[in-house]
Amino acid sequence: MNQQVLLHKRPQGNISSTDFSVLQTEMPTPADGEILIKNEYVSIDPAMRGWMNEGTTYVAGVALNTVMRAFAAGTVVQSNHPKFKIGDAVQGLTGAQEFAVSNGQNIDACNLALGPLSWHLGILGMPGMTAYFGLIERAKPQIGDTIFISGAAGIVGSTVGQIAKILGCRVIGSAGGEEKCQHLLNLGFDAVIDYKTENLTAALTRHAPDKLNIFFDNVGGEILDAALAHLAWGARVVICGAISQYNNQQFYGPKNYMKLVSARASMNGIIVFDFKERYPEAVVQLSEWLKHGQMQYKEHVVQGLDRFAEALNMLFTGANFGKLVLKV
């Protein structure tokens, strides 16, 4: 049998366990030109909250009563496809389910010499690519730049911060709680802001007296406004995400956007999929930095597909500490 997580209803606000149904279904069989993958890890990502909504943003919302869209990593267990053989480690958007049939499109081989399978959903996968290209291509960091990263203890934020350090920036991060803030200092961040207890504006003034050359935003809302008010001349603001807003019916828009004018600054969005053809370059570079101890990677593993809704909610309460994956 195949265990699957289906989107059962669309949340209005916070996610609830009744938004999903977990079913045992017939084992799928691959046709000619297809493979059967046994997923070992399912990635839990903030974007899933948007995918649960009706309508289309950069991708269409997941249809009700179909398998929840998810990146997953696993092993090929049957192959009728010339490019794949039994035992290959692969990852792709194969859904929140134990077994998936695929025609091989958008399924990537995982080179386990570069890192264990689950890492290919994290630092060597989509979130790592987001950090790498979001920083390098959108923020264009220069030696000596001061960068502020919101959501800094997450997989994207902590990777951005560590790359920025390697590239010679002064790095400030915000996160919720003492433990996450201490972790960022251990990773080499120059300063941290606990957004749950500190006044953001006062903290930014203290830690960045010459203001911010780059703001890499994962959170949105009030953090975005505080950072906009603190931009240096020619600053680059990268809008990667706005997790503080995903459960809201209405997004909080920036009030301080006119600061972009006085600072002659720019604000750009990033969608990681636009860099798909360049992923191999980033995977090699990130794995090199990891191998040489220039970067660290932290995972948070939750056991069992039946805990899908609980795990997804952890991203919104901050209960995850590291890249969140479900072990199937």
Ligand X SMILES: NC(=O)c1ccc[n+]([C@@H]2O[C@H](COP(=O)([O-])OP(=O)(O)OC[C@H]3O[C@@H](n4cnc5c(N)ncnc54)[C@H](OP(=O)(O)O)[C@@H]3O)[C@@H](O)[C@H]2O)c1
* Residue 45 beta carbon to ligand X: minimum distance, rounded to whole angstroms: 5
Q: Which helix (H) or strand (E) holds 327?
A: strand 323-327
Q: Could you tell me if 36 and 101 are in contact, meaning their C-beta atoms sit under 8 angstroms apart?
A: yes
d(CA 290, CA 250): 39
Output 37 or 270, the one with its CB closest to ligand X.
270
Cite the beta strand spans of 110-248 per DSSP E.
146-149, 170-175, 191-194, 212-217, 231-239
- Out of 244, 267, 302, 326, the only residue in the binding site for ligand X (CB under 6 A) is 244
Stretch that binds ligand X, among 112-120, 148-156, 184-192, 257-265 (CB under 6 A): 148-156
Identify residues 108-127 at the interface with ligand X (CB under 6 A).
Answer: 127
Q: Could you tell me if 99 and 2 are in contact, meaning their C-beta atoms sit under 8 angstroms apart?
A: yes
d(CA 90, CA 109): 4
Give Cα 225 distance to the centre of its chain: 22
DSSP 61: P
* Residue 155 beta carbon to ligand X: minimum distance, rounded to whole angstroms: 4
The reply on whether position 172 binds ligand X by CB under 6 A is no
Compute the Cα dihedral for 294, 178, 218, 234 and give only its sign. negative
* Residue 271 beta carbon to ligand X: minimum distance, rounded to whole angstroms: 5
- The residue with tokens 């959501």 is 151
DSSP 242: -
Stretch that binds ligand X, among 44-52, 62-70, 81-89, 161-169 (CB under 6 A): 44-52
Output 37 or 129, the one with its CB closest to ligand X.
129
- Out of 46, 115, 125, 128, the only residue in the binding site for ligand X (CB under 6 A) is 46
* Residue 196 beta carbon to ligand X: minimum distance, rounded to whole angstroms: 7
Helix (H, G, I), strand (E, B) or coil at 30: coil
Output 79 or 130, the one with its CB closest to ligand X.
130
Stretch that binds ligand X, among 23-31, 152-160, 184-192, 282-290 (CB under 6 A): 152-160
- Out of 165, 180, 183, 230, the only residue in the binding site for ligand X (CB under 6 A) is 180
List the structure tokens of 39: 């997923």
The residue whose Cβ lies closest to ligand X is 154
* Residue ranges in contact with ligand X by CB under 6 A: 45-47, 127, 130, 151, 153-157, 175-176, 180, 218-219, 240-244, 270-272, 315-316, 318, 320
